[in-house]
């Protein structure tokens, strides 16, 4: 081989190793979503549309269609996934109604050579990727924050989510473990707020008369404003209520801060995690080596960032961020 | 006059055929062994639940706990059956007996079934959460093997549907036991005058429905490979819609087992059809309802034509 030929070969090898391994411009990715009935899910779908529309226009992928089941039911979503297999998508990104009930349909998809990436509501089927939230840590973080604010400890009221849903179990387990390690805190009451302000308000109002003084309320997001309303209606002093990035929660916090310097912290997962999962799917289709379990970073609003968050969060919405390809690559690299 | 096909069946069959043609036209990929199985395999547990609901409707009752009960059966199958088969079988049999007891209670106390089953749906749901507090469990190997099997010529979903329809037809339409059950729905007083115990009959109708509902839960777990306490809540309405789509009626013991299975297949296919149309999810519930109303309206027209003839 001539010297020039060698160089060309070397350049080609370099180009192949350095750039994209496979072209994803012809690949089609589908979003299988189980529920769209709250502000978080609406923001999630908007993020997906914003980011994927641009990705399709830029020719990064061939298509990225979003499908939502009419009712939040695992059996319906399983049928939806099987339809996507028939429609010939190359990858399916899933926010699942159940961590286990879709496993059969997901296995069918994997067997058909389809890349499956689950996020938020992740699935246990080993052939799928998981962009998971460390919900247990989210619960533990709440207690860690309260430890700083309340060195003496105190009574806690816990507002849980929807019974029988794994996210609720995990956040609860994180809180319970952290409380066990910090005996100065005591959970004196626990209600199910179903992640909805009205349900939380009713539940808290129902249990409040039977409770001693509450130092703080640990929550799961979407329930902080309702809890605050219940405390106000009962004429009891407002405890530290952990918030969950909902606009009404942040607005209430801002008002209280202006009035009496109220301070708390607000943590949740950005609905834009759907776009992180999209880029992860794109990277897998691109031939990149991606670990099966990835962790989503939390999005926290602190007293310093409250004003900015209030400005950016739409009325009735939830604080959000759209992820980029670079963010996804960083998460992937951070896991390896 | 004898006809080759029961007119009650003509409409469900027609709706199914129209939908199949539409789906194949939209998505030619579905026109294969694997494709047909993917389209219909989740209809198998729905068909079983629909037969169970049909038996309840046949005796002039309605079961609002079907979804919760199927979920409970699924949880027992996923959480207990693989670990402790004896206990699992015992519990599933217990569920069937509980259903029979409910039937007896409804008949003895003359309670409205709609209230009893609505109340029981919370009991079943609670029991399911107790057995499987968080989603998980594994399907027994033989069940997965059965539900994922690939019989020659026809996919499992089709073989299973034909089998369910045949067994239900022989049991309900051809056996003397089935005739007595239908008579209970048609004219309960005549049944009791003829010396039959209506309590025993209603209890056996509920028990039989319980057997089909348990089978539905097991089939569902075989497909999903694992359980969830909320897995089948949708089945309550799906099963009622399936019975009605298949030519059944709420009163008088007028039902059709073959039609019920076809109704279940049609409902499943309607979902796929709308999904292939790329209809926005906001419209899908409405569109599903529209398909139902369309079929029911067509049925009304057919019946009027029959009356005139």
Domains of chain A and CATH, by start? 24-133+270-299+319-335 (3.40.50.2300), 135-268 (3.40.50.2300)
Greater pLDDT, B195 or B90: B90
Do B230 and A164 make contact, defined as CB atoms within 8 angstroms? Answer: yes
B2 within domain boundaries: no
Do B225 and A103 make contact, defined as CB atoms within 8 angstroms? Answer: yes
The Cα of B63 is separated from the nearest Cα of chain A by a number of Å equal to 19
Do A100 and B136 make contact, defined as CB atoms within 8 angstroms? Answer: yes
CB B181 within 8 Å of CB B58: yes
Model confidence at A22, pLDDT cuts 50, 70, 90, reads low
Q: Could you read off the pLDDT of B58-69 as tens digits, one per residue?
A: 999 999 999 999
Res A151: pLDDT: 92
Q: What is the ipTM of this complex?
A: 0.86
A100: CB partners within 8 A, 6+ apart: A123, A124, B135, B136, B137, B224, B225, B226, B227, B228
User: What mean pLDDT do residues B25-31 have?
Assistant: 90
The distance from CA B106 to its chain's CA centroid, rounded to whole angstroms, is: 21
CB B175 within 8 Å of CB B182: no
Q: Does B134 touch chain A (CB under 8 A)?
A: yes
Cα A151 from Cα B290, distance rounded (Å): 61
Residue of B73, B72, B220, B237 whose CA lies nearest to B147: B220
Model confidence at B172, pLDDT cuts 50, 70, 90, reads very high
Q: Does A258 touch chain B (CB under 8 A)?
A: no
Model confidence at A3, pLDDT cuts 50, 70, 90, reads low
What's the number of domains chain B is made of?
A: 1
Residue of B46, B47, B59 whose CA lies nearest to B205: B59
- CATH of residue B146's domain is 1.10.3470
Count of helix runs (H) and strand runs (E) in chain A: 12, 12
Residue A18 pLDDT > 50: no
Window from A74-83, B151-160, B267-276, B278-287 with minimum mean pLDDT: B278-287
B308 within domain boundaries: no
A201: CB partners within 8 A, 6+ apart: A226, A227, A229, A230
Out of A68, A102, A166, name the one closest to residue B281 (CB).
A68
- Measuring CA to CA, how many Å separate A14 from each of A18, A25, A202, A289, B6? 6, 21, 63, 18, 72
Residue B1 pLDDT > 70: no
Chain B hits for A127, CB-CB cut-off 8 Å, are none
Residue A325 pLDDT > 70: yes
Do B38 and A67 make contact, defined as CB atoms within 8 angstroms? Answer: no
Burial class (CB in 10 A: 0-12, 13-18, 19+), B77: buried
Out of B29, B224, B268, name the one closest to residue A102 (CB).
B224
Res A188: pLDDT: 95
**10 Å Cβ neighbour count for B59?**
26
User: Which of A76, A83, A126, A127 to mutate: most B Cβ within 10 Å?
Assistant: A83
B252 within domain boundaries: yes
Window from A109-113, B101-105, B184-188 with minimum mean pLDDT: B184-188
User: What mean pLDDT do residues A300-311 have?
Assistant: 90
Q: Which long-range contacts (CB under 8 A, 24 or more apart) does B176-182 make?
A: B177/B204, B181/B55, B181/B58, B181/B59, B181/B205, B181/B208, B181/B253, B182/B58, B182/B253, B182/B255
CB A89 within 8 Å of CB A64: no
The Cα of B75 is separated from the nearest Cα of chain A by a number of Å equal to 11
Q: Does A255 touch chain B (CB under 8 A)?
A: no
Greater pLDDT, B188 or A117: A117
> A 262-321 residues with CB below 8 A of B?
none
- Measuring CA to CA, how many Å separate A20 from each of A15, A241, A288, B286? 9, 47, 9, 44
B309 within domain boundaries: no
Res A134: pLDDT: 87
Q: Could you read off the pLDDT of A252-295 as tens digits, one per residue?
A: 999 999 999 999 999 988 899 999 999 999 999 999 999 999 99
* Strands annotated E in chain A: 28-33, 63-68, 91-95, 115-119, 129-132, 154-160, 185-192, 216-218, 240-241, 266-268, 293-295, 299-301
Do A103 and B35 make contact, defined as CB atoms within 8 angstroms? Answer: no
Residue of A125, A68, A85, A82 whose CA lies nearest to B43: A82
Chain A hits for B134, CB-CB cut-off 8 Å, are 164, 166, 169
Model confidence at A57, pLDDT cuts 50, 70, 90, reads very high
Res B125: pLDDT: 95
B3 within domain boundaries: no
Dihedral angle of Cα B22, B24, B26, B30, to the nearest 10 degrees: 140
User: Which of B230, B264, B289, B290 to mutate: most A Cβ within 10 Å?
Assistant: B230
Chain A hits for B30, CB-CB cut-off 8 Å, are 86
Kind of pairing between the strands at A299-301 and A266-268: antiparallel
Residue B179 pLDDT > 80: yes
Residue A2 pLDDT > 60: no
B125 within domain boundaries: yes
């Amino acid at each position: 081989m001539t010297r020039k030929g060698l160089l060309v070969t070397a350049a080609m090898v370099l180009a192949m190793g350095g750039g994209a391994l496979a072209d994803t411009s012809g690949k089609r990715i589908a979003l299988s979503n189980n529920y769209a009935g709250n502000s978080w899910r609406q923001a999630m779908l908007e993020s997906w549309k914003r980011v994927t529309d641009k990705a399709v226009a830029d020719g990064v992928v061939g298509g990225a269609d979003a499908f939502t089941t009419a009712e939040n039911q695992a059996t319906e979503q399983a049928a939806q996934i099987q339809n996507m297999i028939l429609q010939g998508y190359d990858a399916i990104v899933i926010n699942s109604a159940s961590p286990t009930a879709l496993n059969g349909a997901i296995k069918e998809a994997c067997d058909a050579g389809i890349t499956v990436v689950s996020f938020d509501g992740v699935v246990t089927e080993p052939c799928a990727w998981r962009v998971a939230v460390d919900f247990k840590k989210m619960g533990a973080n709440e207690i860690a924050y309260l430890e700083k604010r309340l060195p003496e400890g105190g009574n806690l009221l816990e507002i849980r989510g929807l019974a029988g849903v794994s996210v609720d179990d995990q956040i609860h387990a994180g809180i319970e473990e952290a409380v066990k390690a910090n005996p100065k805190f005591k959970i004196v009451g626990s209600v199910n707020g179903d992640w909805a302000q009205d349900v939380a308000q009713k539940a808290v109002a129902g249990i409040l008369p039977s409770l001693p003084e509450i130092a703080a309320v640990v929550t799961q997001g979407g329930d902080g404003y309702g809890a605050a309303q219940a405390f106000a209606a009962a004429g009891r002093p407002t405890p530290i209520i952990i918030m969950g990035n909902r606009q009404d929660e942040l607005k209430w916090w801002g008002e209280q801060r202006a009035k009496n310097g109220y301070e708390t912290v607000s943590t949740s997962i950005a609905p834009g995690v759907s776009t992180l999962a999209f880029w992860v799917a794109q990277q897998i289709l691109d031939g990149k080596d991606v670990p099966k379990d990835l962790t989503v970073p939390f999005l926290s609003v602190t007293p310093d960032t409250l004003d900015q968050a209030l400005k950016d969060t739409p009325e009735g919405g939830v604080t959000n961020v759209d992820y980029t390809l670079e963010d996804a690559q960083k998460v992937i690299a951070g896991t390896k | 006059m004898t006809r080759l096909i029961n007119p009650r069946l003509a409409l469900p069959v027609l709706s199914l055929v129209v939908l199949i043609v539409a789906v194949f036209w939209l998505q030619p990929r579905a026109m294969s062994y694997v494709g047909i199985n993917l389209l219909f395999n989740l209809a198998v547990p729905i068909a079983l639940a629909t037969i169970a609901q049909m038996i309840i409707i046949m005796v002039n009752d309605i079961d609002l706990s079907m979804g919760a009960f199927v979920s409970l059966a699924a949880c027992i199958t996923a959480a207990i059956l693989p670990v402790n088969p004896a206990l699992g079988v015992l519990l599933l049999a217990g569920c069937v007996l509980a259903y029979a007891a409910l039937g007896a209670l409804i008949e003895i106390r003359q309670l409205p079934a709609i209230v009893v089953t609505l109340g029981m749906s919370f009991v079943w749901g609670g029991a399911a959460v107790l057995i499987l507090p968080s989603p998980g469990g594994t399907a027994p190997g033989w069940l997965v093997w059965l539900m994922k099997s690939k019989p020659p010529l026809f996919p499992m979903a089709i073989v299973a549907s034909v089998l369910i329809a045949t067994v239900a037809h022989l049991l309900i339409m051809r056996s003397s036991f089935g005739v007595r059950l239908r008579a209970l729905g048609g004219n309960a007083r005549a049944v009791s005058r003829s010396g039959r115990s209506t309590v025993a009959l209603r209890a056996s109708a509920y028990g039989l429905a319980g057997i089909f509902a348990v089978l539905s839960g097991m089939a569902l777990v075989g497909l999903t490979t694992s359980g969830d306490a909320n897995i089948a809540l949708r089945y309550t309405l799906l099963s009622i819609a399936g019975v009605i789509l298949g030519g059944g009626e709420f009163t008088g013991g007028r039902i059709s087992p073959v039609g019920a299975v076809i109704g279940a297949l049609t409902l499943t296919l309607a979902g796929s059809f709308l999904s292939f149309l790329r209809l926005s999810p906001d419209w899908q519930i409405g569109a599903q309802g529209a398909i139902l109303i369309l079929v029911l309206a067509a049925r009304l027209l057919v019946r009027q034509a029959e009356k005139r003839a």
